[in-house]
Structure 1
Amino acid sequence: MIPNWLLQRAFLTPDRIALSFGDDKWTFSELKKEAVTIAKKLRSIELQEGDRIALLGSSTPEMVFVIHGCLLAGMEVVMLNNRLTADEIDWQLNDSEAKVVLMADEFHKIIRVSKTETKTFTEIKSLPEIPYTITEIWNPSRTITIMYTSGTTGFPKGVRQTAGNHTSSALSSVLNLGLDEEDRWLCTMPLFHISGFSILVRSVLYGMEVRLYAKFDAREVAMEIARGSVTRLSVVATGLQRILAEMEKTDAVASPSFKTILAGGGPIPDDYLQRSLERRLPVLQTYGMTETSSQTATLAAEDALRKSGSAGKPLFFNRITIAAAVNPLDIGEVLVAGPHVTPGYIGHASEKSPLVDGWLQTGDVGYIDAEGYLYIVDRRSDLIISGGENIYPAEIENVLVSHPDVLEAGVCGQEDKEWGSVPVAFIVTDKKISKEQLNDFCKQRLAGYKVPKAFYIVNELPRNASNKLLRRQLKASLDLKRNE
């Protein structure tokens, strides 16, 4: 049994601040009022509990209201990435079979090619309210959100995240981090990502204020940390580096009330960690994925340098093991289990179970040391992590080979000082095709961060005996090019 998050929180602490944005603030009671109004309006377009809708918006208070309104109305919410192209979004809408797309007005043109019914936030406001009784108790297995994550085949998979998944994730996190009535979590992460959405979940479960930013602003974030107006923050490595640079400009340090920077999206360089100590920033590195509704393991700040490169230990309700490992330091696939793990996928991947003998096969390669600390050796083998965004080469390759003049395509990651890694492409063709043409072709079909930053025309791609593309050899050829 799980109480309806927002109803229960508004009952327990109605006058506590739930959300702030700029100079505006809303209490949990006011947040509930906004959400209930939206839930009633959604009933007027014949949406019922259990219906699946898609949501497209930015990190704004209006987006927060609509998210909570959809949850109160009992919807399964497909969280659309607003950085995707119209074609990418249309694919997800078709795969998810969402009944309607609710979207911020500025995104109306993005889904112009879709056949799915649309309602802008402005149109929602004009709808009549239909009274109904909101469900007060949720079944833990009820699907709350669906977030698409790229698959190794290049086709995104819609990951189901249940009330139980989100609740257990938030509870595990608070058992690790602790909680104070004065906590305020600064959210600059996109709300359509599990990293951003999980902050909203923590807010209603903890009774904690979310300090929302429309986009990441290193200078403003640094100022908030220094003056103590926020106590916690989630970032990726590139964000941390920019915050550090801003604080170093003025020799600023974190307020004594600031408690945690939760850093995901890959290991944090030791240089960043040392500089964080000088700025009095406690950095907790974490490991998680869309299938685990955010964190699975987290490294304590005091262990950051002692266990450099580690993602820490599993949180309270979670389990981690290494496939076929016998001894500490044995390397193998990272397996995860716990109540935070997705029960499955939707759409084309709905028949694929994420679990084998109760364990989620992450595709990540790592090891656990003698003290129980997890280390990730390779992120899903070929995965490219660029500024915290996961990019699977196969998805880009599928787009490239759809070009009439491209015979074969291989994509791998190249190290980048700003983003950590960026995609580059190797092309086999028997026609004359310019790199500019390839770049324009990709820009029309892929989100900007997925477009290769370089194109190399080659005679053939490295493959093994079974004709499988060897991306590791592509990476090795990049090293040779740099040394030439």
Structure 2
Amino acid sequence: MENWLTKRAALSPNKVALIYQYTDFTFAELNSTVQLYASKLFNFGIKKNDRIAVFSGNSFNGYVATLALQQVGAQIVFLNTRLSAAELSFQIKDSEAKLVLADDSIKLDQLRKIDEPVTVMSKILSMERSPAYSPVAEFNNDEVTSIMYTSGTSGRPKGVLQTFGNHFYSAIGMSLNLGINDHDSWVMTVPIYHISGFSIMMRSLVYGIPVYLIEKFDVKYINNILINERASIISLVPTMLKRALNDLQVGQTYNDNFRCVFLGGGPIDNWTLLRCQLLEIPVIQSYGMTETASNVVALNFQDAQRKVGSSGQPLFPVQLRITEQDEKGVGNIEIKAPNVAKGYLNRPDLFAAKMTDDGFYQTGDLGHLDDENFLYVNGRKDDMIISGGENIYPEEVENIYAKIEGLESIAIIGESNDDWGQVPVAYITTADKTFLNGPDLIEYGRSRLAHYKVPREFRLISQMPLTSSGKILRRKLDQVDYEKL
């Protein structure tokens, strides 16, 4: 395909492409800025197929530099800015990145502790442009454009090789599902260095719609945009959605052009979804991962109300099946689609082990389909608790408890037990001035769940260990200090 940025600038030069701190940039202006920066990158010695690590938050410089690397033809290695120096060093070395391009508007403390070469983005800005530079003419579907390391909820992170074709078919699938039109604009609060953020950048080029680039999750600033601007879609994870709802004042509603919260990053409890219904805030749940270049399953507007709790149906380019089902129809979620990644960097064996003989990717998640082919995700296979021969899915239990007033978050894990093999225990965080006690919480669960699913113990902690995308790191819960309730 033709270069997406230059083609979009030719097709929609005067259409707004980016809104950053109340400043609008058209596609023509964005393209000119990106090409200038790309020319300077080229002059700095960055060329096609070089791997360049990017250490940046959701800043204007980071947005431009990321697009500029595509124009040069470099492969972008996205670095999570919340990682430790040791974690960053591993990913830079594992990817064999030629350079770390860092946004000097954020703290670079972790980078100062590593040995790899680092150049700040402002240094590139001060360089001369190269007269020999020209942007790549085509984006080849099979070419790797981005490398993202998995969150590492278990084991060492792996570099996921994402191609232009992966991102294109991801964008097309979502466009068909949401019915994207010229009036849409997408609010990007999730990080560029995650697939949820970078996919919004790529969709903007494919669809020709503006992106509201949000540097940090300031709930009042974001709600102000959703109430007073023309923003139509926002990507959030469950914790972000809850904070946005809690900040709304009585009688406040989002703007007339607003269409939906596009929700990813894990399951959401039914109580929060009910609050959204009461406030007339449509929520489109979805399912996807780094290895699928964002979403492969999503609800649509027509089914959002009647299928609350479902992640939706497979997007048009996607095949989905459930294998090794138990008596309740719960089994392994497997995906076959053109947006499944090319593989794991330096670990083709690991990726090959996740592929079936007939080309399906084994996600490692458990779920079931209803009679209309809507997917319900039960949780990670590794998270499932087996107690006395019974399967317990943590998300099911968490969903029951999530509606308790004052209980901010809950995570269920299995703990070894001589009699039952494993028993469920719960870690919770609460709002200020909230008092909850273990016996009452156990009784609450027993009136709503099979007794074997009810946590044996409730443990109060100050905060949940999370990945930067908002997912709970269950494997770290047993390392957290707690107070037994």
> TM-score, normalization: structure 1?
0.78
Secondary structure class of the residue paired with 1:307: coil
CA shift for structure 1 position 380: 4.1
Cα deviation code 1:166-208 (max 9, x no counterpart): 0000010010101221211111111101111111011111110
CA shift for structure 1 position 90: 0.5
Q: Within 2, Cα distance between the matches of 1:179 and 1:456?
A: 44
Comparing 238-247 with 149-158, which one deviates more in the overlay?
A: 149-158
Structure 1 counterpart of 2:218? 217
Secondary structure class of the residue paired with 1:112: helix
Comparing 313-322 with 351-360, which one deviates more in the overlay?
A: 351-360
Distance 1:29 1:184, change over 3 A: same
Structure 2 counterpart of 1:140? 141
Q: Within 1, Cα distance between the matches of 2:154 and 2:242?
A: 33
Q: Within 1, Cα distance between the matches of 2:335 and 2:350?
A: 20
Q: Within 1, Cα distance between the matches of 2:116 and 2:349?
A: 21
2:43·2:128 contact (CA, 8 Å) conserved in 1? yes
CA shift for structure 1 position 297: 0.5
Secondary structure class of the residue paired with 1:3: coil
Is 1:414 aligned to residue 427 of structure 2? yes
Structure 2 counterpart of 1:346? 345
Q: Within 2, Cα distance between the matches of 1:181 and 1:70?
A: 27
Structure 2 counterpart of 1:53? 52
CA shift for structure 1 position 163: 0.2
1:233·1:260 contact (CA, 8 Å) conserved in 2? yes
1:95·1:348 contact (CA, 8 Å) conserved in 2? no
2:44·2:124 contact (CA, 8 Å) conserved in 1? no
1:186·1:230 contact (CA, 8 Å) conserved in 2? yes
Structure 2 counterpart of 1:285? 285
2:227·2:255 contact (CA, 8 Å) conserved in 1? yes
CA shift for structure 1 position 226: 2.1
State the AA in 2 paired with 1:156: P
> TM-score, normalization: structure 2?
0.78
Q: Within 1, Cα distance between the matches of 2:199 and 2:126?
A: 30
Q: Within 2, Cα distance between the matches of 1:380 and 1:95?
A: 27
Is 1:84 aligned to residue 83 of structure 2? yes
Structure 2 counterpart of 1:470? none
Q: Within 1, Cα distance between the matches of 2:311 and 2:250?
A: 31
1:276·1:282 contact (CA, 8 Å) conserved in 2? yes
Q: Percent identical across equivalent pairs?
A: 34
Matches within 5 A, 1:240-251: 240-247=241-248, 249-251=249-251
2:325·2:332 contact (CA, 8 Å) conserved in 1? no
Q: Within 1, Cα distance between the matches of 2:229 and 2:128?
A: 42
Unaligned runs of 5+ in 2: 385-393, 399-410, 414-424, 432-461
1:273·1:305 contact (CA, 8 Å) conserved in 2? no
Distance 1:413 1:198, change over 3 A: farther
CA shift for structure 1 position 160: 0.7
State the AA in 1 paired with 2:355: L
Q: Within 1, Cα distance between the matches of 2:430 and 2:364?
A: 26
Comparing 92-101 with 44-53, which one deviates more in the overlay?
A: 44-53
CA shift for structure 1 position 220: 2.1
Q: Within 2, Cα distance between the matches of 1:245 and 1:326?
A: 39
Secondary structure class of the residue paired with 1:191: coil
Q: Within 2, Cα distance between the matches of 1:415 and 1:337?
A: 37
1:273·1:304 contact (CA, 8 Å) conserved in 2? no
Distance 1:348 1:203, change over 3 A: same
Matches within 5 A, 1:243-262: 243-247=244-248, 249-262=249-262
Q: Within 2, Cα distance between the matches of 1:413 and 1:123?
A: 49
Distance 1:416 1:316, change over 3 A: farther
Structure 2 counterpart of 1:118? 118
1:228·1:258 contact (CA, 8 Å) conserved in 2? no
Q: Within 2, Cα distance between the matches of 1:263 and 1:191?
A: 16
Comparing 284-293 with 298-307, which one deviates more in the overlay?
A: 298-307
Is 1:192 aligned to residue 188 of structure 2? no
2:19·2:213 contact (CA, 8 Å) conserved in 1? yes
State the AA in 2 paired with 1:173: M
CA shift for structure 1 position 113: 3.2
State the AA in 2 paired with 1:320: L
1:267·1:310 contact (CA, 8 Å) conserved in 2? no
Q: Within 2, Cα distance between the matches of 1:18 and 1:413?
A: 45
Structure 2 counterpart of 1:28? 27
Structure 1 counterpart of 2:68? 69
2:427·2:477 contact (CA, 8 Å) conserved in 1? no
Cα deviation code 1:228-247 (max 9, x no counterpart): 42111000111111111222
Comparing 128-137 with 259-268, which one deviates more in the overlay?
A: 128-137
Cα deviation code 1:31-66 (max 9, x no counterpart): 111111121111223221011110001101111100
1:228·1:256 contact (CA, 8 Å) conserved in 2? no
Structure 2 counterpart of 1:234? 235
Structure 1 counterpart of 2:15? 16
CA shift for structure 1 position 141: 0.5
State the AA in 2 paired with 1:100: L
How many equivalent residue pairs?
411
CA shift for structure 1 position 121: 0.7
Distance 1:417 1:144, change over 3 A: farther
Is 1:308 aligned to residue 308 of structure 2? yes
Is 1:263 aligned to residue 263 of structure 2? yes
Structure 2 counterpart of 1:183? 184
1:194·1:294 contact (CA, 8 Å) conserved in 2? yes
Is 1:324 aligned to residue 324 of structure 2? yes
Structure 2 counterpart of 1:397? none
Q: Within 1, Cα distance between the matches of 2:39 and 2:108?
A: 23
Cα deviation code 1:77-109 (max 9, x no counterpart): 001000111111011011111010000113433
Secondary structure class of the residue paired with 1:335: strand
Unaligned runs of 5+ in 1: 394-411, 419-438, 458-477
Secondary structure class of the residue paired with 2:108: helix
CA shift for structure 1 position 15: 1.1
Distance 1:351 1:280, change over 3 A: closer
Cα deviation code 1:125-175 (max 9, x no counterpart): 122222223222121001111100045761100001100000000010010
Cα deviation code 1:440-471 (max 9, x no counterpart): xx99xxx99869566479xxxxxxxxxxxxxx
Structure 1 counterpart of 2:435? none
CA shift for structure 1 position 114: 2.7
2:150·2:290 contact (CA, 8 Å) conserved in 1? yes
Structure 1 counterpart of 2:377? 376
Matches within 5 A, 1:94-109: 94-105=93-104, 106-109=106-109
Structure 2 counterpart of 1:402? none
Matches within 5 A, 1:140-159: 140-150=141-151, 154-159=155-160
Cα deviation code 1:352-399 (max 9, x no counterpart): 42422211111001111111011111224239999xxxx9x9xxxxxx
State the AA in 1 paired with 2:196: S
Q: Within 1, Cα distance between the matches of 2:273 and 2:253?
A: 14
